[in-house]
Structure 1
Amino acid sequence: MDASSVDLSGAWSQIWARIAPELQGFDLFLIFLAVAVAVVVTVKYIYDSRRKGGGDVRSLTVGLVIAALLAAPGLIIPLLLLIADGLIAIFIAIIGLIDM
């Protein structure tokens, strides 16, 4: 296996290109769900910070990341997979240099 054969983002793009047209309105539902998650997490963070003197930033961050993934699965997931492609290619290249 060479470093150029890894294409996770291309595979996701093909999957999403086939799924998205078949599920009319699904992307709108995901956006609505993402906004709801972002609002709930933000309100909870503000409420906790006012009540206890400091909110849990970790739950806010995780909630907003989940909201971002829900809002743009056709953009954010391929971007993350593109980064993973690069890291895997680097790892394979290093393994190839070690085997020599």
Structure 2
Amino acid sequence: RLCFMLRVGDLRKSMIISATIHMQVVRKTTSPEGEVVPLHQVDIPMENGVGGNSIFLVAPLIIYHVIDANSPLYDLAPTDLHHHQDLEIIVILEGVVET
């Protein structure tokens, strides 16, 4: 299986609690009618060892997205991910810093 993988971790001395993670791809697309959409946003489904979007960052965690026929990254070659100017992958990690 082809996957897009990343590792997240908390390097702070205080822990991040109630952490959630989301991933989106933002790219320039053209609709079937020919309209150019400069910032088309699509959520990317992710998988991790825990399951769901909630994560527990005691140690670094590998998050991955399986690139299959349903993936918004399916039509890109691996070299396109590095050189594609109209593509951005955004990872949002939210949580509360323990005090």
TM-score when scaled to structure 1? 0.22
Higher helix share: 1
TM-score normalised to structure 2 length: 0.23
Between structure 1 and structure 2, the one with the greater Rg is 1
Q: Which has the higher strand share?
A: 2
